[in-house]
Amino acid sequence: MPDNVTTDCESESPFPDELDWQIAFEPIAGRPRDVLTLAIRFAALKQLVSGLKKREAIAAIDGAIDSLYEHSDFRSAGRELFLTAIEGKLTPDKEDMIHELGDQNLEP
Q: pLDDT value at position 104?
A: 60
Most confident of 51-60, 81-90, 95-104: 81-90
What is the H or E stretch that residue 79 is in?
Answer: helix 79-86
CA dist., res. 45 & res. 54, Å (int): 10
CA distances from 83 to 67, 68, 77, 80 (A): 12, 11, 11, 5
pLDDT at 4 exceeding the cut of 70: no
The pLDDT tens digits for 10-62 are 556 676 788 888 888 889 888 888 888 888 888 888 888 877 777 777 887 88
Q: Residue 57 and residue 93: Cα distance in Å, rounded? A: 33
Specify the pTM: 0.50
